Chains A and B, each alone.
Chain A
Amino acid sequence: MASGELTSKEYIGHHLTNLTYGRHPDGTWGFAANAEEAANMGFMAVHVDSMGWAVALGVTFCAIFYAAARRATAGIPGGLQNFVEAIIDFIDDLVKDIFHHTNSMVAPLALTIFVWVFLMNLMDLVPVDLLPHAAYLIGIPYMKVVPTTDPNVTMGMALFVFALVIFFSIKQKGVGGFVGELAFQPFPKFLAPINLLLESVTLLSKPLSLGLRLFGNLYAGEMIFILIALMYVSWVTTPVAWALQWGWAVFHVLIITLQAFIFAVLTTVYIAQAYDSHSEEH
């Protein structure tokens, strides 16, 4: 709840500030007391809340799926195994449709992305004030609970995917093949600089769009939850806020699943493109 002393701007600002641990301009390390201090830390800082929740959710994913994997039986599967197998089967079909080469890593990659991103997005459905307020009560000043509303998180994942794309491109086609693909098409070879420019933009736009799409969707969704939460200040608007929040949450169930799915699919598509040669494609 927005406590009485906070203005709307302060309330929103508070919700958009990460718990940041980093190096102060004076060289000492510590938590930033406010958004300004956090900004002054520059690059040498870590969003402890984003990272903490991201890792906690990733560990949750691994723990649940590992529990199922360890007890996996070819006989009659139990409830957990059924659940996990349904997801794995879904991802496996998806990857097989898109990616036609042999790489044992692509499907687990897509699975990790799908489940992990879904879990991180799911934090968006926790009422916006619940966890930050609980954290505030135990003395933690800032707490952003949805890791995917942090561009560091989404771009970090996108950059890792990008690194994989480049790695697999070079592994599959060799350095020459990879550079050739960038430089010698779509126009004839003598227009190599233009080709290089165009293809580089194409290449670089992949991780950028991948990371920013997820971030944008979730950030906007979170922002709307925060704005709706502002309406709880008056008893007149509270019922409206309830209705809006419920409606948005229902809609968000779709968004968070869809965004997790899109991230997984696009990752698979990009890696499939790294494997496919362009001549095949056209």
Chain B
Amino acid sequence: MNINLTLFLQMIAFAAFVWFCWRFIWPPIREAMSTRVENIAKGLEAAEQSEQKLAQASDAAARELEVARAESKDILERARARGNQMVEEARARAEEEGERVKQTAQVEVEQEANRAREALRARLAELTILGTERILGDRIDRKTHDRLLDDLVKEL
């Protein structure tokens, strides 16, 4: 158990190992560790952010859906109302049309009847004159008996 040169050699060896560790071992490993810590922190933060974004997005989607649903309901209602209205209109128009056709037909019928009546009247007047002429054996002056004839016709 002698103290000798070993003491100094050990000091030198110690210094050399410390230096080696200080230069080549400690820095790269510490750097790798702290970089990893940063990466993990970043990763966690990103995960949290995307979670928030996801929540926001699904909120937005839900809102959009709500709006769309309301809109479609609105559109549907309007369409139904419009449809009803159109049916009403069509019916009204059809009724009107029918009415018009009926009226036209009635007018025509009346005109026809009038014409027939006129014709009948004219014919009757002629026949009456003819008959009267035969009975009287004389010509009736049409002009003088016009008033009489007219009255007669009117009575028909």
Which residues of A are at the interface with B, using a C-beta cutoff of 8 A? 16, 20, 22, 38-39, 41-47, 50-51, 54-55, 58, 61-62, 65-66, 68-70, 72-75, 77, 81, 84-85, 88-89, 92, 104-105, 107-109, 111-112, 116, 150-153, 155-157, 159-160, 163
Contact = CB atoms under 8 A, between A and B. Distances in A.
B30 interface: yes
Contact of A105 (B1, B22, B31): B22
Q: Which of A58, A61, A107, A152 has the most CB of B within 10 A?
A: A152
Interface of B: 1-11, 13-18, 20-22, 24-33, 35-36, 39
B29 A156 contact: no
18 contacts: A39-B2, A42-B4, A45-B6, A46-B4, A50-B6, A51-B10, A62-B25, A66-B20, A69-B28, A69-B29, A75-B36, A84-B29, A109-B21, A112-B17, A116-B14, A150-B6, A155-B7, A156-B9
A150 B22 CA distance: 26
A72 B31 contact: yes
B13 A43 contact: no
Contact of B15 (A20, A61, A160): A160
A51 B13 contact: yes
Contacts of B17: 58, 61-62, 112, 116
Main secondary structure of the interface of A (DSSP, over half): helix
A150 B18 CA distance: 20
Given A20-B4, A42-B2, A45-B5, 8 more contacts: A41-B4, A55-B13, A72-B31, A74-B36, A104-B26, A108-B22, A112-B21, A156-B9
A151 B153 CA distance: 167
A96 B11 CA distance: 25
Contacts of A16: 1
A195 B132 CA distance: 180
Contact of A151 (B3, B16, B25, B32): B3
Contact of A157 (B2, B5, B14, B31): B14
Contact of B8 (A20, A112, A156): A156
B134 to A, nearest CB: 139
Contacts of B18: 105, 108-109, 112, 160
Contact of B24 (A47, A66, A74, A160): A66
Nearest to B34: A74
